[in-house]
Amino acid sequence: MNKICVASSGLGHVARGIEAWADDLGNALAARGEHVIRCKGAGEPESDFDRVVPCWTRDAAKTRALLRSMPPALGWRIGMGSGYAIEQTTFARNLIKVLRSEDIDVLHVQDPFVATQVQKAWRRGRIKTRTILAHGTEESLRFQQQITYLQHLAPWHHQQARDAGFDKHTWTTIPNFIDTDHFHPGDGAPLRDELQIPRQALVVLVAAAIKRRHKRIDDVIDEFHALLHQHPELPAWLVIAGGRESETDELIAMGKRRLADRVRFLVRFPRTRMADLYRAADVFALGSLKEMMPIALLEATASGLPCLVHRHPVMQWMIGPGGRSLDLSRRGGLASALAQLLTDRNERRQLGLAARQHCCDQFSTDVVVDQILRYYRHVTNDTRAAA
């Protein structure tokens, strides 16, 4: 049996898709009886297979001080050009010690700098651990080419690499997964009461980092404002749940100014309560124009929510027949789609059923973990180890 390490430098102090992936994968492998440890950059051990690996976390005072004192060009050259880079670099150095002491065969990560540094230690013969990078951070093809064992999260991403002439026999495509027993349809009334949203309201949920760039939360707010302006009789509420970013407070102020009581912001809402949040919603929407493979979209489909996403191959593949893809770059597109869906209960029900079935068939824990375990065997048996 292979000895596996799942690691994330942000686990224990950051709530994003990467950290949710590491948490879920560690639990899933342990439930299968695999020999696994889960390494996190902060917090406390939550199970006997957890290891806390010290690092300079991205928001720590000493990390900020180092960034201020170091010329930017030097910082990027030595892998310390941002708070996240410093966190990964310091985490990787201590992680290598853990991998050596616990005789780990396979490291599975989504943190790109952690992957390159541990892979370098393997190539130099310092450890026997082979590193798999599950690529979820939009690294360039040139960066990806450095990685011996790379897991694309969607067929489209892998095909883009092939079309550009970047591919290896050691690369694969395996999606993210979701616990469909935990995320499922149910009664959302108690959480609606807690959020002071009427039980008869129509709730649109967005789960994404609360920022303009990429997640386009400002555009979502504008579209919802247009929806309420065009359909003042519609009892619609918008809930935005996500991590804090530098512009989060400004976006919250914008949302309250434009939507008044019709919006709720949930900053760093506990992941242990996210299943209840999805059950409190009627529709899920994602404002981004491109994604690697967002965990939130899997959580929404598993919860039986009809989904509105941009017309992009990855998101279309993820929702299958369980939603609508549209051109979100066009002003008014989301508002129009929301109006149609929120006023048609039967369509919401049909799309929600299809969303959950598609998710269970393609992205449930058992389906995907089987693929991951086969890849672990391929990696440890590989004798050609591409450069």
Per-residue pLDDT tens digits for 253-296: 999 999 999 999 999 999 999 999 999 999 999 999 999 999 99
pLDDT of residue 268: 93
In the chain, which segments carry CATH 3.40.50.2000? Answer: 3-177+365-381, 189-363
pLDDT of residue 385: 64
Of 63-72, 203-212, 237-246, the one with minimum mean pLDDT is 63-72
Q: Residue 212: which of 247, 241, 238, 242 has the closest Cα?
A: 247
What are the φ and ψ backbone dihedral angles of 178, each rounded to 5 degrees?
-145, 145
Per-residue pLDDT tens digits for 269-281: 999 999 999 999 9
Percent of the chain with pLDDT over 90: 93
Mean pLDDT of the 177-194 span? 98
Mean pLDDT of the 305-319 span? 99
Per-residue pLDDT tens digits for 348-357: 999 999 999 9
Per DSSP, helices labelled H in 196-294 are: 217-230, 248-259, 274-279
Q: Is the pLDDT of residue 82 over 70?
A: yes
Q: Which fold has domain 189-363?
A: Rossmann fold (3.40.50)
Q: Is the pLDDT of residue 304 over 80?
A: yes
Global pTM reads 0.93
Per DSSP, helices labelled H in the chain are: 17-31, 61-69, 72-77, 83-101, 112-123, 141-144, 155-163, 189-194, 217-230, 248-259, 274-279, 295-302, 313-319, 333-342, 345-363, 365-381
pLDDT of residue 4: 99
Higher model confidence: residue 76 or residue 364? 364
Q: What is the CATH number of domain 3-177+365-381?
A: 3.40.50.2000
Per-residue pLDDT tens digits for 52-74: 999 999 999 999 999 998 888 77
Reported confidence tier of residue 162, pLDDT bands at 50, 70, 90: very high
pLDDT of residue 213: 93
Per-residue pLDDT tens digits for 112-153: 999 999 999 999 999 999 999 999 999 999 999 999 999 999
Strand partners, 130: 106
